[in-house]
Structure 1
Amino acid sequence: MFFGYFSQESIDNLQIKSHNLFSFGKNFVGFLNSPLSVPHTLRFNIIHTNGKVDSHTIDDNSVCHFPNHEAFETELGTKHQNNTFFKDTTIIYCIASKEIQITRDIFGITPIYYIHIPNKFFAFSSSLSSLVATDRFKDFLELDSTKMTQYLTFGADSAPYDDSTFYKYFKTVLPGYTIHLNSQHCKTTVKNQFELNDSIQKSSLTEIADLFKNAIKQSTSYGMKGISKVCSQLSGGLDSSSISSMIHECDSKIPIYTIYAKTNTQLTDESYYALEVSKKINSKHFEVLPTSNFHESASLHIGLYGHPEFMQNGSSFNQSMLLKAKELGCSNLFSGHPGDGIVGYGGDYLIRLFDNRQWTKLKALLNDSNLILQNIGDKDHIEAVYKTINSLLSRQKAKLNYFELFKLVKDAKFFFNIPNTFFIYSLFRKIKDKFLLPKNILQPNLKKQKLLNSNSVNAIHSIKNPEYITDPEQYNDVFQEQAVLFQEEIYILEYYYGVKCIFPFYDKTLFEICLSTPSELKFGNGIRRAHFREAMKGILPESVRLRRSKGNFGMYGRTAAIGLYEQSKPLLSTSSKVWNYVNRNTFFRALKLLKDDQQQLYVYNRMLFYVSRTVYLAIWLDKIDNHEFVNHFTEK
């Protein structure tokens, strides 16, 4: 964790606690050492006026000296070849130009926040709460209503990650970008890019699976450096099961502790699959109940973040996992996040078949009852097929006029044998939902806010050869707002709980392989993620490797959201500032629907979003009023 401040003014009243402090006159950069084994390295490089470079690796307190900048660049080139540089967060300070350059790692695992006031000062940190809790910046804490709108809008956090925060003067550095800061100027440039290989598109499934296996094994092994015993989250799903099993594949003798979150809801029960994996890798297996102190954990974490919670039910869930890992004496917790996005499902193949009218082939795929990925509890395969065609039709709304769309629906209805009753029911449900479900919970003055910041992550800038991407939505899944913010929150929790979360799927080579893999091969005649499943042959139990079902946390989320509301009522009085942003009457409509036992899961999913986001926002606003954000560089 780091904190830097460079000013044209006196800073006698600005003091920080740090393990490593580098001072340059009245300017400084301070670091808090992580007590953990950290596979993502933090480096601070100083370029002296005589051209010499000191390169400090903060995590192990080592330093390398280079006679000139050319020798330093040669060392960086070697790290590029070894694929380790992309995991690093690098800070470079040039004494002569008094310029700071900060490069964020390519996946955005380490957050970087900054404030730049021209000709006065600039500051930066990996902790937003430390910045906003510093008295020096108290006059620059104006809230960003656009970010509020985005936060409270259902589905908006699936947009690309952008550089905004909840405070107008504070920004973030985009993953893979470098920020250049001096007293006058602030600019960002792309530093690290993904490089795709078109030869993969000509490879067989077996060849791609071998590349996949080698990449995920190397990434897992890299995360295990310096670790004598391993703790791994094991849900029983394909992603977490693969990581837990790959740990055993890398070192069959290392002690492994696996943790399963027991939520006691039918749609999340994957305990059978988790036990199958645990038996195969001979792990010590534990079941953990997520804490029911929903408000307490959320309030604690929001004070650490400096902004509202983004993870639905994340505070209670992650707190329980991290505390269990610590109880077991482990300084690490391996996870299968974000396997869904990195690996890809091949769903783009269905879209192309539909759009290109290759309907005979599409129909054959969908009619195989074993080839539809289902949530636990789903039983009606035919209904799932109808819903798939309906979603493919919905994608055409923006492209076709009314008559073209009507003809397409009519053609699809007859070809795929979809009964009129399905469309009638769908239409009835839409009409009913329009009157029953709140479209949003915003106050009227926020409804017209622009949602997307112009400075956002996109494939055109982050990939050297984007023409080789087989499914653009897969890239977006990894770099959407929700995914990157999840990682930023985990980074802060690691320091607080003293447990490093390790995500082997965040690997540059692995992501490049998956982005280049043809969607048809990923889809695998319907099994989906076929390249991944092929790579796990002999490593995973077959019952897990070939499973088509997937857990659904909607019902647990409903329980948690209601509990969060009940425990947070004092913050939701009529005088609460949250009602400046949220329509109070609409909120209570959403709460009533959430508590209604007769509603369907899709209704609960949206209502729990509205309820939990409102409560998280209320907690955050209360902490602003009471100055309760944690400054990691002054707190004991």
Structure 2
Amino acid sequence: MSAITGIFYRDGRSVDHKMIKKMNDKIAHRGPDGSHIWYEGQIGFGHQMLHTTPESLNEKLPFQDEDSGLVITADARIDNRKKLSELLEIKNSIRVPDSIFILKAYEKWGEYCTEKLLGDFAFAVWDSDKEKLFCARDHMGVKPFYYFLSDDSFFFASEIKALFCNSEVIKRINDLRVGFHLIPIYKHENLTFYEEIYRLPAAHSLKFQKQKINLRKYWELKHDAQIILGSDEEYIDAFRKIFAEAVECRLRSAFPVGFELSGGLDSSSVVCMAREILNDNNQLNTFSIIFEELSKMSETTYINHVAEMGGINTHFTKADNINPLKDIENIISIVDEPYITPNITLLWDLYIKIKKNRIRIVLGGEYGDITLSKGEKYFIELFSTFNWIKLIREIKGMSKRFNVRFYRLLLNQIIFPKIPKSLLKFIRQFKGYRQKPDLILLKNDFIQQINARKYLKNHFINEPDNFREFHYFLLTLSSHQSFFEVFDRFYAAFEIEHRYPFVDKNLIEFCYAIPDEQKFKLGWDRIIMRRAMQDILPKEVQWRHSKAEFSSFFESNLLRFEKDRLDKLIFNNEDDFLLDHYVDLKKVQNIYKNYQNGSSGNDPRDIWNVITLAKWLKYTKL
């Protein structure tokens, strides 16, 4: 987690080095270990360095290669250094930073270099001989890359706030993106909350040459990919090998590594695989959020099962009395958008503790559910394809394992999901529930302005009812990059780089391509990992079939700590003039009343989305 900045004047103006320095300074918190700039004529690069890997200790960016004349600035971790060293004929030495591998890959393969790289990266390369600028972002969008583009200028940075240092970039709210936040709709590949500010989408590159611009998608998950092996054991061995590689390459660090440990299957598997890989006397530092009063959210038992394996030094943060709105103004200023997840508040104290332990790298289990699949739509597919013998066997197995009656599973997994959406919506409304997402928060004028009904209709059309299709749908949602961006800015405030083993490109490709029964079997989701972690993971965690949801924390503590504040915001006109363009405040008030009264079918996340929007609008000062 470092920072990159850049200016490219397409009209030929010369770059003022003071402007690059100003952009760097705006996001200096991302890189306390060094700030440098490079500029020449119409192009300028900046960099803020956070040392993470051993190789980064010898890295200085921006870097200009004297032989080729190429210049690079990058925020990158390249995981296939060994393979690249052979292809590029350069040493895989601690003295050769990852940015050199990118630069030499570009020198050899040009814009197709991205197809040879594995890891998390955002970079820009300037080729002075060809007057060509090339920018790229990693396969899943873990590393951020924002930009402003006009006929005259191109500015880029790791955070949007650096772009506003340039007088040509005017701060204007993107109403469509605000609408997506309130509905909510999660498909917004390149949109941001500001007009004319875009993200470079994941797995895309951007090339400028002779006034021509080319945006290219260099990778996508192959829709028809299949991996057929001879036995369960072969799938298990293959998964274990790829998962171990995904964890191991993310352990490369010049500093102590920390682990988020929730007690769930995914984070526990990352910790235990790391323990297996390191296999020495070093203690793994794990950090966990625990609850004592909210017992149904307690994961302490499972965390302790992992710790009892040895070699693990646990750190706990008690969260029962954390206010969901604690430090919200500070968090809004850091993440610079109205974030949708209230649980980010829980991480605040946790990451204070992580930083105090001088840890710069943290691994977590995020996206395990998506990469490995929780089996959504599996029963529906078996039913729709008339594979009823297998369906009955699967439901019986799930019924036995989880002590749920067969008919109840049949209703929940087959009958209710097959009800037409229009009828289901009527039933939900009749019972006091409503189907999400919808337009209930939006003012009628605003609905018309952004054509919200069209986007909502497309949202439902695009969700498939097939197990494999739905897995593909989840893996390729453009909203993933928004998640990475929000949390990237959050972690940057603590000078910490977060790494995601379950977002490894090779692991994703493998888990998608294997047969359905290797993903879900007899009620067990993520079955391939459960089997592969035999004798590595504690059995109590390996075969647990449920996990705590943090929604109880949010729902109970929001009213417990913030009733007066919410009353002022929603009923007493505090900041409502900022919301008035977007939100029907009378509808919000009704939702809030029902939430206070405990009425069924009223989602407090609606209230949360309104609160964070109000706070962000106030922060932006527009």
Q: Into which bin does the TM-score normalised by the smaller protein fall?
A: 0.7 to 0.9
Q: What amino acid maps onto 2:338 in structure 1?
A: P
Q: Is the contact between residue 15 and residue 41 of structure 2 (CA under 8 Å) also seen in structure 1?
A: no
1:320 and 2:335 matched: no
1:5 and 2:35 matched: no
1:260 and 2:262 matched: no
Q: Deviations over 1:522-571 (max 9, x none)?
A: 11232121111111111111111111112222211213544467546666
| Aligned residue in 1 for 2:335 | 305
| Aligned residue in 1 for 2:107 | 72
The alpha carbon displacement at 1:624 in A equals 1.4
Q: Deviations over 1:458-515 (max 9, x none)?
A: xx9xxxxxxxx97232233234354321211121122210122121111111111101
| Aligned residue in 2 for 1:545 | 542
Distance 1:555 1:294, change over 3 A: closer
Q: What amino acid maps onto 1:577 in structure 2?
A: L
Q: Deviations over 1:214-261 (max 9, x none)?
A: 111112111111355432111111101101111111113221122221
Q: Is the contact between residue 220 and residue 246 of structure 1 (CA under 8 Å) also seen in structure 2?
A: yes
The alpha carbon displacement at 1:174 in A equals 1.0
Q: What amino acid maps onto 1:136 in structure 2?
A: S
Q: Is the contact between residue 260 and residue 267 of structure 2 (CA under 8 Å) also seen in structure 1?
A: yes
Distance 1:116 1:185, change over 3 A: farther
1:110 and 2:137 matched: no
SS of 2:49's equivalent in the other structure is: coil
1:231 and 2:231 matched: no
| Aligned residue in 2 for 1:494 | 491
Q: Is the contact between residue 42 and residue 89 of structure 1 (CA under 8 Å) also seen in structure 2?
A: no
SS of 1:471's equivalent in the other structure is: helix
Q: What amino acid maps onto 1:239 in structure 2?
A: D
Q: Is the contact between residue 106 and residue 192 of structure 1 (CA under 8 Å) also seen in structure 2?
A: yes
The alpha carbon displacement at 1:62 in A equals 4.9
The alpha carbon displacement at 1:73 in A equals 1.6
1:614 and 2:610 matched: yes
1:625 and 2:621 matched: yes
Q: Give TM-score scaled by structure 1 length.
A: 0.79
| Aligned residue in 2 for 1:445 | 445
**Map 1:155-234 → 2, pairs under 5 A:** 156-157=185-186, 159=187, 161-181=188-208, 184-194=211-221, 200-227=227-254, 229-234=256-261
The alpha carbon displacement at 1:332 in A equals 2.2
Q: In structure 1, what is the Cα distance between the partners aligned to 2:315 and 2:249?
A: 25
SS of 1:243's equivalent in the other structure is: helix
1:89 and 2:114 matched: no
| Aligned residue in 2 for 1:136 | 167
**Map 1:264-303 → 2, pairs under 5 A:** 264-290=293-319, 292-303=322-333
Q: What amino acid maps onto 1:103 in structure 2?
A: A
The alpha carbon displacement at 1:130 in A equals 2.1
Q: Deviations over 1:159-191 (max 9, x none)?
A: 3x4111111211111111001246844431012
Q: Is the contact between residue 394 and residue 521 of structure 2 (CA under 8 Å) also seen in structure 1?
A: no
Q: What amino acid maps onto 2:154 in structure 1?
A: F
Q: Deviations over 1:330-386 (max 9, x none)?
A: 222221001011111333432221111223431332133556779xxxx77753442
Distance 1:561 1:204, change over 3 A: farther
**CA RMSD, aligned part only?**
3.8
Q: Is the contact between residue 232 and residue 334 of structure 1 (CA under 8 Å) also seen in structure 2?
A: yes
Q: What amino acid maps onto 1:88 in structure 2?
A: F
Q: Deviations over 1:113-159 (max 9, x none)?
A: 111111x2111111012223x25145x322221111111004x22x3
Distance 1:439 1:89, change over 3 A: closer
* Larger relative contact order (CA 8 Å, sep ≥ 6): 1
1:393 and 2:421 matched: no
Q: Deviations over 1:405-432 (max 9, x none)?
A: xxxxxxxxxxxxxxxxxx9xx9865412
SS of 1:345's equivalent in the other structure is: coil
Q: In structure 2, what is the Cα distance between the partners aligned to 1:370 and 1:184?
A: 63
Q: In structure 2, what is the Cα distance between the partners aligned to 1:32 and 1:245?
A: 33
Q: In structure 2, what is the Cα distance between the partners aligned to 1:355 and 1:71?
A: 48
Q: In structure 1, what is the Cα distance between the partners aligned to 2:400 and 2:521?
A: 9
SS of 1:480's equivalent in the other structure is: coil
| Aligned residue in 2 for 1:465 | none
Q: What amino acid maps onto 2:614 in structure 1?
A: A
Q: Percent identity?
A: 17
Q: What amino acid maps onto 1:36 in structure 2?
A: T
| Aligned residue in 2 for 1:587 | 588
Runs of 5+ unmatched residues, structure 2: 26-34, 77-94
Distance 1:10 1:229, change over 3 A: closer
Distance 1:256 1:275, change over 3 A: same
Of 142-151 and 290-299, more deviation after overlay is shown by 290-299
Q: In structure 1, what is the Cα distance between the partners aligned to 2:209 and 2:159?
A: 20
The alpha carbon displacement at 1:94 in A equals 2.1
Q: Give TM-score scaled by structure 2 length.
A: 0.81
Q: Is the contact between residue 347 and residue 519 of structure 1 (CA under 8 Å) also seen in structure 2?
A: no
Q: In structure 1, what is the Cα distance between the partners aligned to 2:74 and 2:531?
A: 39
Instruction: Determine which of 242, 245, 250 is the counterpart of 2:272.
Output: 245
The alpha carbon displacement at 1:590 in A equals 1.6
Q: In structure 2, what is the Cα distance between the partners aligned to 1:63 and 1:74?
A: 17
Runs of 5+ unmatched residues, structure 1: 403-422, 461-468, 627-636
Q: What amino acid maps onto 1:219 in structure 2?
A: A
Q: What amino acid maps onto 1:216 in structure 2?
A: F
Of 475-484 and 122-131, more deviation after overlay is shown by 475-484
Instruction: Determine which of 372, 376, 384 is the counterpart of 1:347.
Output: 376
Q: In structure 2, what is the Cα distance between the partners aligned to 1:364 and 1:270?
A: 31
Q: In structure 2, what is the Cα distance between the partners aligned to 1:78 and 1:181?
A: 16
SS of 1:319's equivalent in the other structure is: helix
Distance 1:295 1:35, change over 3 A: farther
SS of 2:583's equivalent in the other structure is: coil
| Aligned residue in 1 for 2:522 | 525
Q: Is the contact between residue 15 and residue 39 of structure 2 (CA under 8 Å) also seen in structure 1?
A: no
The alpha carbon displacement at 1:620 in A equals 0.9
Distance 1:447 1:252, change over 3 A: same
Q: In structure 1, what is the Cα distance between the partners aligned to 2:567 and 2:37?
A: 43
Q: What amino acid maps onto 1:474 in structure 2?
A: H
Distance 1:243 1:43, change over 3 A: farther
Distance 1:442 1:481, change over 3 A: farther
The alpha carbon displacement at 1:436 in A equals 12
SS of 1:383's equivalent in the other structure is: helix
Q: Is the contact between residue 140 and residue 480 of structure 2 (CA under 8 Å) also seen in structure 1?
A: no
Q: In structure 1, what is the Cα distance between the partners aligned to 2:162 and 2:604?
A: 30
Q: What amino acid maps onto 2:243 in structure 1?
A: I
Q: In structure 1, what is the Cα distance between the partners aligned to 2:111 and 2:210?
A: 27
| Aligned residue in 1 for 2:153 | 121
Q: In structure 1, what is the Cα distance between the partners aligned to 2:225 and 2:158?
A: 36
| Aligned residue in 1 for 2:430 | 431
